Structure 1
Amino acid sequence: MKKIAMIGSALSGNKGAAAMLESAMQTLGEKYPDAQFTLLAMYPQQDKEQNTYKNLTILRGDSFYLGAVINSWALLYRLLPGARNFIKKRSPEVKALAEADVLLDQGGITFVDGREVFLIYNVATILPALNVKTPVAKCAQALGPFKNPINRMAANIFLPKMARIVSRGAITHAHLEGLGLKNVTEGADYAFCLEVTDAEEKAATKKFDMNFFKNGNVVGVSPSVVLRKKVDKHRGPGAYAKETAEFVDYLTKEKGYKVLLIPHSYRSAETQLQHNNDAPLCRDIYAQVSGQEKCQLLDVELGSQELRCIIGKCDLFIASRFHAMVSSLAMQVPTLVIGWSHKYREVLEMFGLEKWAFGHDKLQHEYLKTRFAELEEEQKTVRAQLTKKLPKVKKKSYNQVDVIQSVLER
């Protein structure tokens, strides 16, 4: 029986993280039917409430507890061999890591210049496993560039210690090759492996009225609180929500579309916390939309597969949340991407569709109208390109299953 620990993914909150987790469980479960999974969770209580998998154990892994407690116990585990049984009894997280055959690091973006504020967390997620001598496989994610001296030093110290690293696209792969790493495999986001069944579609229909997709074309819009922070920093508070609401009105009033606002990261409706939570932002946007009769807010928490079913029913899509983009591409929906990192572009490059991404610095009403009009005009060509390229991208995504299996079989 294989024991597989995971960190950086989730069931609640960011549904991209959920898609990566469930993709790993699906694909590795096919290879190892008796595999047992353990997740060190950022939101352990919420994840426990949503956990329907009998072979998945949820343990605490929030930032403070991970950094201060788990890392301390793991360091003592390494330094005091005679106390290891005691440490396992006191720390179920260290016990799970020590007994795991591999730790899957599913952080979507790590060791990146400009995100040095997250560097301690990037290290804290992998250091306990290294201290208990459990191999770490970094699932497909964006890494680099490494020009910042602090980030480059950390990358040079820790990335060579990974059993394997899967890059998520050509740009990340080039960054990693620039460090001279030999433990890198080129791949694609794990969420491209996520399979959606009739059961998920039926579950989605119980939470959302699919009649919305009848009698008129629908544009899905997935905003992002990360993008909002970047836009509002330069253009003033509320600029991002106002710009998005105005464009929704343009789509409904001038173009005749229906619009579905989709928070792809969603936490409990009772919380206004915005980390890994696009729902408050989407509510703000919806409140500013004047044509609400043709706009609907998906204000309910769905699973990653249920969300993918709904996204797949849209005729066109505008994505700022990364894994909403992955789902729209996987469902072959022509997509316009407003991003803030190379991670968007390198995925679109796999489909030959990188021209449909632009940075948040260009988020102006007239420019957005122009780019959307271009997507409208070329949507048949874009959809054909998605259909042509998707099997190859899925295969590249599935390659990391073989990479993980090679670590498990050592």
Structure 2
Amino acid sequence: MNRPIKVLLAGVGSLNNYGCEAIVRGTAAMFQDEWPECTLIVATKTPADDAVRFRDCGNVQFVQEGLRFTPKRLWKGFLRRIGIGAGVPVRMNSLLYRDKQIFLSCGGDNFCEAPDGSLYNILQDLMMLGSNAAEAGLLYSLWGASVGPFSKKDTERKIAEHLQAAQLLCLRERIAFDYVSSLPLDNNHILQVADPAYYMEVQPTAAIPRQPGEQLIGVNISPLACSPADFTAFNTLLAQHKNIRLLCIPHVISTQGDAQDDVSFMESFRAQSPYASRIDILPAGLGATATKGYIAQCDLLIAARMHACVAGCSAGTPTLFLTYSSKGVGMAEYVYGHRKWVLSTRNLTGQDLVAKTESMLSEIAALHAYLKANNTRFKSDAIRALHHLKQTYTGKKQPVAMPALSHVH
């Protein structure tokens, strides 16, 4: 009798980040459709809560991501309480791979550097876990990742050496694919795919009340990608277009006032705006699928968080990518085949935002039809990763470099 195939997915952290929830839901749906013999085991910060949230997904289990009560953390925590030091963060359990057969290292931008060129703890932890998994004989794959670029050659060399341990590198946009292909790698599958979040379905939601002639624009602005100075650009848009109403769409829910919290950031936007009566905010806690359902009702989406953009494009809502790094540019290019619908958050002006918004609204019917027509492509490109994962695991084929995606737009 064949033993069950256990697949570990790590790197998503908290599912209060709806992008991480969308990655898990999309991945679970792909396994259910394509490889139902597998059990997906997801490492998160709050596994008990997440198991309740996913009670409709029979093929998903959750485990604790980090080790909270290590001797070092207990000692450092004691010192912090008496005013010595700042303690140490919870780090990922590097033994999560035990009793699993496949390890998926969650993509997003985990394999990217910090603004100062250093490596985030989560990347260092994922590399340790990946190395341990590969040494133990697991099939190790990056899963829907943006990788680099790394500004320091020593760091780039370290990353390249680590990626040699992975049998499959599933990269979610062409810029990352080209970058990884330029590294001195061999014996790897290097594959361009779509982000697994494209595979998550839309949950029908209650109709948003609309006034005759009103245009509803969804907005996702995050405190990490934008600043309070950017509020002026959206106020300019509202000032010049009296028929526009904004629906602020949180995609990361965190502690009130936390640096990651979309809700408090957008509440501060509404509080300072002279057009607050035309700004609504979705409540916290809706989850990824319901939020995608509300995005589907918008005429247009302007979003800074990339998985909010993924939700918009896969729901058929024309989406303007507010970008702060190459990953956003690459993901917009994947969707549209060009970079026209990209706007940098660096030095964002009201004039630029109004011009891009007006341009998109003038083509809104064609853009909506284009996205609807391409949703099959998005899902097909997402599940392409699982096809190659299954083939690598069951076929025992020697890894070969795989081409990037090419599409007629």
State if a TM-score over 0.5 links the two structures: yes
Task: Kindly report which structure 2 residues correspond to 1:7-406, keeping only aligned pairs within 5 A, or say none.
Answer: 7-9=10-12, 12-44=15-47, 46-48=49-51, 50-52=53-55, 53-62=57-66, 96-115=96-115, 116-132=117-133, 133=136, 134-181=138-185, 182-196=188-202, 200-201=203-204, 204-205=205-206, 210-213=207-210, 215=212, 216-228=214-226, 232=227, 238-240=228-230, 242-243=231-232, 246-247=235-236, 249-250=238-239, 254-267=241-254, 271-275=256-260, 277-350=261-334, 351-406=336-391
Q: 1:214 to 1:163 in 2, by over 3 A?
A: farther
- Compute the displacement of 1:174 (Å): 0.5
Q: Would you say the 8 A contact 2:193–2:385 is kept in 1? A: yes
Q: Percent identity?
A: 18
Q: Would you say the 8 A contact 2:113–2:120 is kept in 1? A: no
The separation in 1 between residues aligned to 2:67 and 2:263, in whole angstroms, is: 22
Give the TM-score, by structure 1 length: 0.80
Q: 1:179 to 1:282 in 2, by over 3 A?
A: same
The separation in 2 between residues aligned to 1:321 and 1:287, in whole angstroms, is: 22
Q: 1:168 to 1:314 in 2, by over 3 A?
A: same
The separation in 2 between residues aligned to 1:159 and 1:287, in whole angstroms, is: 46
SS at match of 1:260: strand
The separation in 1 between residues aligned to 2:169 and 2:67, in whole angstroms, is: 23
AA aligned opposite 1:292:
A
Higher normalized helix content (fraction of residues): 1
Q: 1:387 to 1:54 in 2, by over 3 A?
A: closer
Q: 1:12 to 1:183 in 2, by over 3 A?
A: same
Q: Would you say the 8 A contact 1:10–1:47 is kept in 2? A: no
- Compute the displacement of 1:50 (Å): 2.8
The separation in 2 between residues aligned to 1:145 and 1:383, in whole angstroms, is: 32
- Compute the displacement of 1:51 (Å): 3.6
Q: Would you say the 8 A contact 2:193–2:381 is kept in 1? A: yes
Q: 1:349 to 1:406 in 2, by over 3 A?
A: same
* 1:120-155 C-alpha deviation (Å, 9 max, x unpaired): 421311422432422221111211223422320221
Give the TM-score, by structure 2 length: 0.81
The separation in 2 between residues aligned to 1:398 and 1:65, in whole angstroms, is: 38
The separation in 2 between residues aligned to 1:278 and 1:126, in whole angstroms, is: 29
The separation in 2 between residues aligned to 1:32 and 1:213, in whole angstroms, is: 42
The separation in 2 between residues aligned to 1:46 and 1:7, in whole angstroms, is: 17
Q: Which has the higher mean CA deviation after the structures are superposed, 285-294 or 183-192? A: 285-294
The separation in 2 between residues aligned to 1:325 and 1:152, in whole angstroms, is: 28
SS at match of 1:161: coil
AA aligned opposite 1:256:
N
Q: Which has the higher mean CA deviation after the structures are superposed, 15-24 or 25-34? A: 25-34
Q: 1:63 to 1:378 in 2, by over 3 A?
A: farther
- Compute the displacement of 1:331 (Å): 1.5
The separation in 1 between residues aligned to 2:263 and 2:154, in whole angstroms, is: 34
AA aligned opposite 2:104:
L
The separation in 2 between residues aligned to 1:244 and 1:57, in whole angstroms, is: 43
* 1:310-337 C-alpha deviation (Å, 9 max, x unpaired): 1011001111111111111112212222
Question: Which residue number in structure 2 is paired with residue 82 of structure 1?
Answer: none
Q: Would you say the 8 A contact 1:173–1:186 is kept in 2? A: yes
Question: What is the RMSD of the two structures over their aligned residues, measured on CA atoms?
Answer: 2.7
AA aligned opposite 2:352:
Y
* 1:212-267 C-alpha deviation (Å, 9 max, x unpaired): 24643211001112112xxx4xxxxx323x3255246336xx33112100011123
* 1:254-292 C-alpha deviation (Å, 9 max, x unpaired): 33112100011123xx643233x3111111112123333
The separation in 2 between residues aligned to 1:95 and 1:170, in whole angstroms, is: 32
Q: Would you say the 8 A contact 2:5–2:37 is kept in 1? A: yes
Q: Which has the higher mean CA deviation after the structures are superposed, 282-291 or 55-64? A: 55-64
AA aligned opposite 1:195:
E
